[in-house]
Structure 1
Amino acid sequence: MSGPALLLAEALGHHRAGALDAAETLYRRILDASPGHADALHLLGVLTHQRGHHAEAARLIGEAIRVDGTVADYHRHLGLVLLAMDRAEEAAACHGRALQLRPDHAEARFNLGVALAALGRKEQAAAQYAEAARLRPDFAEAHLNLGAVLQDLGRAGEAVASHRRAAELMPADPRPWSNLSASLRHLGRAAEAGEAMRQALARGGAGDATGLAVLAGSLHAEGRLAEAAEAYVESLRIDPGAPLVLNNFGLLLQDLGQPEDAAACFDGAVALKPDFVEAHDNLGSVRRGQGRAAEAVESHRKALAHRPDMAAAWNNLGNALKDLNRTGEAFPAWRMAVLLDPGLASVWSNLGNGLREREDFAGAAAHHRRSLRLAPGQPMAANNLGHALQGQGRFMEAARWFRRALALDPAYGEAMSNLGLAEQRLGRTEAAEASYGRALLLARDLALAHFNRGLLRLERGDFTGGWPGYAWRFASGQVGAGRQPAIPAWRGEDLVGKRLLVWGEQGVGDTMLFASVCEDAVARAGHVVAGHVVIETDRRLVPLLARSFPQATVRAQAVDARGRETLSFPDCALHTPVGSLARVFRRSLAAFPSRPSWLVPDPARLALWRERLAALGPGLKVGIGWRSQLMTAERRTAYTILEDWAPLFRVPGLVFVNLQYGDCAEEIERAEARFEVRLHRWSDLDLKDDFEAAAALVSNLDLVISPAMSAGELAGALGVPVWRFGGRDWTQLGTGVRPWFPSMRLWQPRPGEALPDVLARMARELAAGAESRPGPLTLG
């Protein structure tokens, strides 16, 4: 062996042993003697690269290639240097030239894969890693990188085999196990993923914050929440400044039912990373769940400020706005969400629910069907579609969808309750009762099931079972929010030494009905002192109720400086909503008193309106109303239009008086012109706000004909004959009458009849009465 060859061998020995200074001295001695020595130039270039002087290394290896371009390793090592200089495209070209010279060079294949991966050409990189592993089955790094790039390509199933082979070849290295954990998590194999991460941590030491965080994620996915929490805490102890870990820990805390702690994590995440959109969005979801919808809106908007194309954040923003009753703003947010991601089933469902609240039931059903096409296995989507169909009165179809929801989730209490209502509307009362019972076994505090079952029982005359269910009216959301005064609720106990507050609820019509029970409460307390019962009611009813119940103190509902109802009543010891008096005093039909009326009109106004009506001439004075002010899709079927009244308008001897308030002037004028009839009305009479005048007018009428509306309830409370038309409701309490109103007669559709047919039957009876009596028409 010649002198340069001996020096080169000695230098290479030092180089391999890590004695870089000694190796460099010998390489340079060779080059001093022979400046064009290709191997010395190449190896000195590799050594210089190892020292981090990449530009000089590239120059030296480039000189070696110019001397001899046929050596594959020269090109390969130049590729490595160029990659270190972020010149990946040139690096890939160098590795390609190495492979042209030596196609079976496994290391060159591997290095080309690294360069291609750096260029984002992952499919090509995967092919090179796979070929390197084929050429050298024990090439651990090739298996490691192949598994990683396959995972990046979404080919987790293929990646698993590469991770496992790398782990066999690198028994002390945590990386194959970490990668295996990620792939298994991607495949939904949470338990195996957790075990793989434990293997990684065992090889990487207990201080690996990232590994602990990954393990926590796997434990969370497995449902092992307490263990996951411990792993997150340990990870954050090692590295408290990891926003992603804080965010994921917040998600776990949400599942643990600790929303405030979860919010603290999300807050911490965005403090460390202000543009962390997921953390902003998650914080919004927590705040919404806490009932803090305004804060939720702010957080979702912050997420969208950083990423306006985030469909989930638009959806969540819409939900928070809906909670604030800003549905008009919620719809654009939901629509933006479906524009960005039309495959997001939950957004179509939210749009459907919003349309259902607007009573666009057909539109709601269409959106829920879209949601079901995207997620056919979602029980909530099936329940929502049933709810929309129920709004259209399509109870049979609705019931099928509720059953579909229950087939998907047999423990879905809300769907079972909705099925009960569908059965009830179909007249299947026994099935409805059973469904409500099952719903309450599934969800014992399901307010709507309690309320609807209560109404069903009251409809059947079951007082004992019905009144407790009716008490859920506020919690069910069907009657509006109940007030919660800071005093105990009255349950019927002795009132000696205690002042009772009876407060108004629902509309004025319901107040008039339940006012029939107020005199019982006053009588219960009457042995003490007058004013021992305080009745708080709509300001419009105060004079009428004060005159009717002189032993009580009647006042308008208390409000604060902003016009909101107050909840503090220092002058009372107990309270009850007026509708709850019936549970104490109307426990059977026998408990309804026989007196004809309970409201007392103003005598002076009574005389005034007697004169006014007398001035209209002879004939039966008939007050009429035809619809409620509160119109919903369901209620609309219970009301009429004036054109339906043609048969009544043709009955001779009737003098019609308008009792309909609201915007109805044009409707009345059209009917008067068409039917050549007069509906008497007075410009100084405010039927909406002046109940004193309305009561005096109604008290002088011979008959009131109306659907379910306050004019008919007022007439019944005054003892005036009332013909009430419409379907059955719970206030009949299992009878053919309404026991609350002795002067009221019910006219209900027979099979196959519509409401105009009922009005025609009324007309025939009135006409027959007129023919059988001489002189002016009177009401028998």
Structure 2
Amino acid sequence: MSASPAPATPAQDDTPPTDEATAELRMESFAGEASTVDRAESAAKIEARMGVGESAQSLHPRARKALVKAIKALKKHENGVAAMYALKATELAPKNGQTYHVLAMALEGLGQLSKALNMYERAVALDPGDADLYLNLGLVAWRLKMLEGAEKMFRLFITMRPQLHSGYNNLAMVLRDQGRFEESIEIMQAALYRLPGSAELWNTLGAVVMERGQVEEAKTFYQEALRLNPRFARAYHNLGYTLHHIGPVEEALDAYERALRLTPEHSPDRVETRHGKALCLLGLGRLEEGFAEWEVRHDGRFRNSMLVGLKAPRWQGEPLAGKRVLVVAEQGVGDEIMFGNALPDLQDALGPEGEMLLAVDQRLVTLYARSLGRGRVGPHMTRMHNGKLLRLVPWNSQFGPVDYWTTMGSTLRFFRKRTDDFENGRPLLKPDPERLAHWRQTLGALSGKPKVGICWRSLSMTTQRAKYFSPMELWGPVLTNPDVTFVNLQYGDCHAELAEARARHGVEIHALDIDLKNALDDNAALCAALDLVISAPTAAAAIAGGVGTELWYLTIGEVWPMLGTDHFPWYPNNRVLMPDSYADWPNLMAKAGAALSGFVAGRAGAPAG
């Protein structure tokens, strides 16, 4: 049975409307919800300000009782219980800012960030002199990616509490996330002049310069933070993150494990640190441990966790023969291809009586349907909800209930326990034969030289991601090779960069008549027609690797998808080129240029046919 594309569902990127009315919170079920944020310390501060006997005396007695119960629940990390009591307190004392403050913290702990934001705003309106409200409001705005609003709140907090490090820390990080590195560093320098013994400030300075690519400086600042506070878990976490970039990875793993030993079990920081530990384990080739620990990415407290709107039980390794399983792709397009490595094994486990339903990006539906050969493939519907990515699969119900669902990456835990488990013999993706013939003819008309596709950056060039990509102006050692014909695989608007390459290096990078971003099935056929693809770790590289074209990755250093090897085991025909030292792009591009010359010489010396 061939794979069938399911009915199309338009992708959505809208944020659900904010719930303005506190009364509507009565419709929410708080009991039994998992805690996602530790608010115990803030609750204790409110309790201290209340005196639970001074300012609280002005409350209605029943409101005071409810608020005290809410605070006690928050201190025990029982956010659902806290929300119920705090909601009752707001109803009994609607003009008391502390009731809304506690309700906001409980909602934040439940992951209901939009509602938490509204409650913080109400609390500020009622109690504008409470500095902590501005800090907490800024933190929620930051998590909702409202960076300008978060910046404003943190600046207000600093004005009210200039002696505390927390305002400077958070302001610097929000400025960093906006790419305003110089301002961020100036804020930290001024804060350190005021508070030179603050381990927290040294840690934050390290986090800022790390995202700027100054890894050795970041390492030094984290070490200073740990000198000042040897039990500073977050500094160990950040040191682990830095060491994972520059090595040794074993030392990065040790730093993450130290952070975990110092982090309380209930703290949301644990999930971030466990995620870092998982990537270290994978980078060391310890796949069984690594993929098991990597499941922490589904914990609701993880900053980048994805919500999946399905009612069926999640597959946890149960026998699959004869079952119906829905697989939901995760992360970006490149990941939706890379993590698909184990899908053929999943199909084999289902057997002839079982069926796999696969939900992927709309642009990959046709390509995956052709490649997998059986089952059903359809699009996931994606939107943002409370600052989290939410994926829905409304079409799956048309084909009856499924026995289990799983995310695509979670299949690796059961089918890829060793690097030897990766199938390197055959490509995962099968391009359209007619389009493949078309592109071979088109490329042949350009020249008789080898056709080399290039992609130099991601479409999503956030502040955090920019450090992983070499600037186009440094590609000279590659682009000045006269014995190849270059083909553009860079999606998005890159006209200026193509013109720059023409002016700077005298090379024509051929931009063909194809929508590289959206026509991914045609993109796969183009990649299959090329002789070589040289790319940063992008979706373009994943497509090329997926169809089996020879692929050279240009990376900043060792990266976890190498899984402890010298290549990407996910694809059958690839190599990794990396600089001798972290982010030394001139060194890397010189290596790539020399390798390309060797590639051309090898083809010239190869026997015909």
Number of the residue aligned with 1:592: 422
Number of the residue aligned with 2:34: none
Size of the alignment, in residue pairs? 548
Number of the residue aligned with 2:24: none
Number of the residue aligned with 2:335: 510
Number of the residue aligned with 1:616: 446
Letter in structure 2 aligned against 1:702: D
1:606 to 430, 433, 436: 436
Superposed CA deviations along residues 89-116 of structure 1, whole A, max 9, x for unmatched, are: xxxxxxxxxxxxxxxxxxxxxxxxxxxx
Pairing of 1:262-411 with structure 2 (within 5 A): 263=86, 266-267=89-90, 270-271=93-94, 274=95, 276-277=96-97, 281=101, 283-305=103-125, 311-371=131-191, 380-399=200-219, 401-402=221-222
Separation (CA, whole Å) in 1 of partners of 2:423 and 2:215? 38
1:706 to 510, 520, 535: 535
Separation (CA, whole Å) in 2 of partners of 1:502 and 1:587? 19
Number of the residue aligned with 1:763: 593
CA contact under 8 A between 2:138 and 2:151: conserved in structure 1? yes
Over aligned residue pairs, what C-alpha RMSD do you find? 3.9
**Secondary structure at the counterpart of residue 745 of structure 1:** strand
Separation (CA, whole Å) in 2 of partners of 1:669 and 1:296? 48
Alpha carbons of structure 1 residues 692 and 371: separation in structure 2 relative to 1, 3 Å: same
TM-score, normalization by structure 2: 0.78
Which has the larger strand fraction? 2
Alpha carbons of structure 1 residues 400 and 318: separation in structure 2 relative to 1, 3 Å: same
Superposed CA deviations along residues 559-604 of structure 1, whole A, max 9, x for unmatched, are: 69x9963267553111221112222112122222242312111111
Alpha carbons of structure 1 residues 372 and 769: separation in structure 2 relative to 1, 3 Å: closer
Number of the residue aligned with 1:469: 293
Alpha carbons of structure 1 residues 486 and 411: separation in structure 2 relative to 1, 3 Å: farther
CA contact under 8 A between 1:725 and 1:755: conserved in structure 2? no
**Secondary structure at the counterpart of residue 357 of structure 2:** strand
Cα shift at 1:504:
0.5
Alpha carbons of structure 1 residues 296 and 710: separation in structure 2 relative to 1, 3 Å: closer
Pairing of 1:119-130 with structure 2 (within 5 A): none
CA contact under 8 A between 1:489 and 1:575: conserved in structure 2? yes
Separation (CA, whole Å) in 1 of partners of 2:185 and 2:485? 46
**Secondary structure at the counterpart of residue 534 of structure 1:** strand
Cα shift at 1:762:
3.3
Cα shift at 1:412:
4.6
Alpha carbons of structure 1 residues 673 and 732: separation in structure 2 relative to 1, 3 Å: same
Number of the residue aligned with 2:33: none
CA contact under 8 A between 1:503 and 1:557: conserved in structure 2? yes
State whether structure 2 residue 405 is matched by structure 1 residue 575. yes
Cα shift at 1:368:
4.3
Number of the residue aligned with 2:4: none
Number of the residue aligned with 2:369: 546
Cα shift at 1:646:
2.4
Letter in structure 1 aligned against 2:249: T
Pairing of 1:215-230 with structure 2 (within 5 A): none
Number of the residue aligned with 2:8: none
Cα shift at 1:453:
1.6
State whether structure 2 residue 380 is matched by structure 1 residue 557. yes
Superposed CA deviations along residues 449-475 of structure 1, whole A, max 9, x for unmatched, are: 222222112212212322212222343
Number of the residue aligned with 1:679: 509
| 541-550 vs 399-408, greater mean Cα deviation | 399-408
CA contact under 8 A between 1:596 and 1:743: conserved in structure 2? no
Cα shift at 1:311:
4.2
Number of the residue aligned with 1:498: 323
Separation (CA, whole Å) in 2 of partners of 1:456 and 1:260? 37
Alpha carbons of structure 1 residues 750 and 381: separation in structure 2 relative to 1, 3 Å: closer
Number of the residue aligned with 2:243: 423
Alpha carbons of structure 1 residues 317 and 638: separation in structure 2 relative to 1, 3 Å: closer
State whether structure 2 residue 551 is matched by structure 1 residue 722. yes
Superposed CA deviations along residues 23-49 of structure 1, whole A, max 9, x for unmatched, are: xxxxxxxxxxxxxxxxxxxxxxxxxxx
Alpha carbons of structure 1 residues 730 and 330: separation in structure 2 relative to 1, 3 Å: closer
State whether structure 2 residue 456 is matched by structure 1 residue 626. yes
Alpha carbons of structure 1 residues 301 and 759: separation in structure 2 relative to 1, 3 Å: closer
Letter in structure 2 aligned against 1:391: E
Separation (CA, whole Å) in 1 of partners of 2:318 and 2:62? 60
Letter in structure 2 aligned against 1:447: V
Number of the residue aligned with 1:447: 271
CA contact under 8 A between 1:346 and 1:371: conserved in structure 2? no
CA contact under 8 A between 2:64 and 2:89: conserved in structure 1? no
Cα shift at 1:744:
0.9
Number of the residue aligned with 1:19: none
Alpha carbons of structure 1 residues 269 and 247: separation in structure 2 relative to 1, 3 Å: farther
1:566 to 392, 409, 420: 392
Separation (CA, whole Å) in 2 of partners of 1:397 and 1:245? 51
Superposed CA deviations along residues 42-65 of structure 1, whole A, max 9, x for unmatched, are: xxxxxxxxxxxxxxxxxxxxxxxx
Gapped regions of structure 2 (runs ≥ 5) = 1-43
CA contact under 8 A between 1:246 and 1:269: conserved in structure 2? no
Letter in structure 2 aligned against 1:348: Y
Letter in structure 1 aligned against 2:590: A
Alpha carbons of structure 1 residues 489 and 619: separation in structure 2 relative to 1, 3 Å: same
Cα shift at 1:480:
4.3
Cα shift at 1:675:
2.9
Number of the residue aligned with 2:37: none
Percent sequence identity over aligned pairs: 30
2:310 to 485, 496, 501: 485
Which has the larger helix fraction? 1
Cα shift at 1:316:
3.6
| 534-543 vs 612-621, greater mean Cα deviation | 612-621
Separation (CA, whole Å) in 1 of partners of 2:144 and 2:541? 35
Letter in structure 2 aligned against 1:357: D
Structure number with higher relative contact order (C-alpha < 8 Å, ≥ 6 residues apart): 2
Alpha carbons of structure 1 residues 511 and 248: separation in structure 2 relative to 1, 3 Å: closer
